[in-house]
Structure 1
Amino acid sequence: MVTPAPAPALPGISPGLQARLDLGLAAVEDLLTARVDHDDPFIAEANAHLLRAGGKRFRPLLTLLAAELGSGINDDVVAAAAGVELTHLASLYHDDVMDDALTRRGAPSANAKYDNSTAILVGDLLFGTASDIIADLGPEAVKIQSQTFIRLCSGQIRDDRACPPGQDPNAYYLGVLADKTGVLIATAARYGALLSGCSRETIATLIEYGERIGVAFQLADDLIDISSEMDVLGKAPGTDIREGKRTLPIIHALASQDPADARLQHLLRLSEPSEDQVAEALALLRPHPAMDRARAETEAVAAGAKDILAALPQGEVTAALAHLADRVVRRDG
């Protein structure tokens, strides 16, 4: 298994908080390692495939950090953090099948390494494992997990379909992201607050904060899919163009009235572009004003998440949460 990296250094936090986060993430990693294991060696290997590939463990970190607004990190918080991360990992197995992806985190995707059926079934198994962990945390935690899963799947379904006629593409897409990505990150923060005894007001604030940074996180991913090279991204750039997805940069480019954008708009409307056409579209889109507009909107969503934190007691934890909101939109991969 991957040796867990320490929690990322967060400006303004004490050595004590940093140490607690490091210990908490190590405990989460140990639990993840134990729960993806299986008596069948093949299932154990397939279960652990994406876990071994690494990852930032952003969601578990948020769960642990939110708990610091209450009584602190405990065994239930660690379990919830692992459950959220397994839910996230399970969704990646399914995403890669839907995207026909070849790589994930710089390694072969599960569907490429095994096959689509195996990837789907392993994703299902991990969803089940996550639910089994959450079931030990009480009925409210189970209800949250179920509601999260419903919204996550609803978002994925809507993401795979075009914006309905008569609806604003921007608003529709942001709603998709709130379900597809925002809800699980909101749940990560919610579990940390709930299981550490925070007030209902604090929990509600963290839910809203988490959903907003979740949307910002996915918006940043959409920009990275266009701007990054393969060695940075760990997967081929231009996935959204290949799939005909309408992310914010693409929405803005398609809305352009400039005749000079006709070629780019043609390429973005192709249902099955060739790799050469994807490369041409990327070359035209990367310097396009649509990218600057999408970046500004992404930063505005993150700024809105930071504004919500004003309702919480100010200190090193809220400062760290504000830094996380900045970090999700200022990354390269």
Structure 2
Amino acid sequence: MQPTVRDRALADGLKAGQAAVEKGLLEATKSDVPFITEAARELMRTAGRRLRPLLVLLAARFGDPSASGVVPAAVVVELTHLATHYHDDVVDETDAWRRRAPGSDVNWDNSVAVLIGDFLFARASHILADLGPQAVRIQADAFKRLVTGQILETTGPTDGRDPVEHHLEVLASRTGSLTAVSGRLGAMTSGADASVADALARYGERLGVASHLADEVEAVAARRPTLPVLLLLRGEPADRELYHRLTGGSADQGQYAEAVARLRAHPALEQARQETAHQAAEARAALSGLPDCPARAALESLCETVTHRALAHDR
């Protein structure tokens, strides 16, 4: 996901910063053990949008973007994100990590996936140590929230808790915590004011949630309890029956396709779109006290992109 950037100096600066981040990621994923290097870099090639480093680089524009800690901070948040991909795949019991296996002759099991994730966490911690104790504490707090979100997702909502509210809380912890810390570290390492760092952390958390919800709207056919599916639990008995068809795993391919078609036509999908737009609007509102500059405009354009993804999908 890339922002709309009309300012040439900002565009050039982001391009140079992103190139430096990629170089840093290659260096950080290098090991004396070739298999570790190959495995870590395979995930790096397939992990997607680099949203978190981008947020670090844009946040740094409210201070000194050339400060020495900015690019290392961007590398740290991306390494942490990559590590959680490995761990999430194991916790979710998917075979996504097997598709990333460097070679068919490798015993690529859960233990290896977890250990590769741990290797990436270790490399992130090593880089983070050079950014000072405050950065270490910020990252540690974010990681605590991330792990808490993973546990909450695994255990599910407590009795009487609205599953939709629980899901949004999980996303704020699992996804929003790391996008929030991206904004905060970018501001902090660039020397921006604490109030700016606070605003960018609030922005990052809401944008992270909105981006994940947009993914869920687009992945309406996924066999898991996404927001559109969970919203069915607030409806009539027929809606609850549809929920169980979509999440129970007992429906054959034809039955499941019919259930997905019903969901596409259900008001729950529109409600999920609107919640995504609401989260993106909250992100944009967090920027209201920041200086009117190209970096702020770029951050605002990310909110518009996420909203468009959600509202335009399947219409």
Q: Secondary structure at the match of 2:205?
A: helix
Partner of 2:154: 160
CA contact (8 A) 2:223 2:246 kept: no
CA contact (8 A) 2:3 2:301 kept: no
| Alpha-carbon spacing, 1:171–1:154, altered in 2? closer, same or farther (3 Å) | same
CA contact (8 A) 1:93 1:111 kept: no
Structure 2 residue corresponding to 1:71, chosen from 53, 61, 64: 64
Partner of 1:305: 283
Aligned residue identity for 1:65:
L
Structure 2 residue corresponding to 1:291, chosen from 263, 269, 276: 269
Q: Encode CA deviations 1:193-228: one digit per residue, 9 max, x unaligned.
A: 0011111111111111111111111211221221xx
C-alpha deviation, 1:53, in angstroms: 2.0
Structure 2 residue runs without a partner (length 5+)? none
Q: Secondary structure at the match of 2:62?
A: coil
C-alpha deviation, 1:253, in angstroms: 1.5
> Does 2:141 correspond to 1:147?
yes
| Alpha-carbon spacing, 1:77–1:286, altered in 2? closer, same or farther (3 Å) | same
Q: Tell me the matched-pair count.
A: 307
C-alpha deviation, 1:99, in angstroms: 2.4
More displaced stretch, 73-82 vs 278-287: 278-287
Superposition CA RMSD, Å:
2.3
Structure 1 residue runs without a partner (length 5+)? 1-6, 227-236
CA contact (8 A) 2:70 2:190 kept: yes
C-alpha deviation, 1:306, in angstroms: 0.6
Map 1:238-257 to 2 at 5 A.
238-240=222-224, 245=225, 247-257=226-236
Q: Secondary structure at the match of 1:147?
A: helix
| Alpha-carbon spacing, 1:145–1:18, altered in 2? closer, same or farther (3 Å) | same
Structure 1 residue corresponding to 2:99, chosen from 108, 116, 130: 108
CA contact (8 A) 2:223 2:247 kept: no
Percent identical pairs in the alignment equals 43
CA contact (8 A) 2:56 2:186 kept: yes
More displaced stretch, 85-94 vs 213-222: 213-222
> Does 2:75 correspond to 1:96?
no
Aligned residue identity for 2:112:
T
Q: What TM-score comes out, normalization by structure 1 length?
A: 0.85
C-alpha deviation, 1:160, in angstroms: 1.5
CA contact (8 A) 2:39 2:100 kept: no
Structure 1 residue corresponding to 2:43, chosen from 40, 47, 50: 50
Moved over 3 A (4+): 109-113, 272-275, 277-281, 329-333
Map 1:215-254 to 2 at 5 A.
215-226=209-220, 238-240=222-224, 245=225, 247-254=226-233
More displaced stretch, 177-186 vs 310-319: 310-319
Q: Secondary structure at the match of 1:160?
A: helix
Q: Aligned partners of 1:190 and 1:110: how far apart in 2?
A: 34
Q: Aligned partners of 1:130 and 1:14: how far apart in 2?
A: 32
Partner of 2:250: 273
CA contact (8 A) 1:90 1:127 kept: yes
More displaced stretch, 273-282 vs 210-219: 273-282
Partner of 1:318: 296
CA contact (8 A) 2:276 2:307 kept: yes
Q: What TM-score comes out, normalization by structure 2 length?
A: 0.90
Q: Encode CA deviations 1:118-166: one digit per residue, 9 max, x unaligned.
A: 1111011111111111111000001111111111011011111221112
Q: Secondary structure at the match of 1:311?
A: coil
| Alpha-carbon spacing, 1:253–1:64, altered in 2? closer, same or farther (3 Å) | same
Q: Secondary structure at the match of 2:190?
A: coil
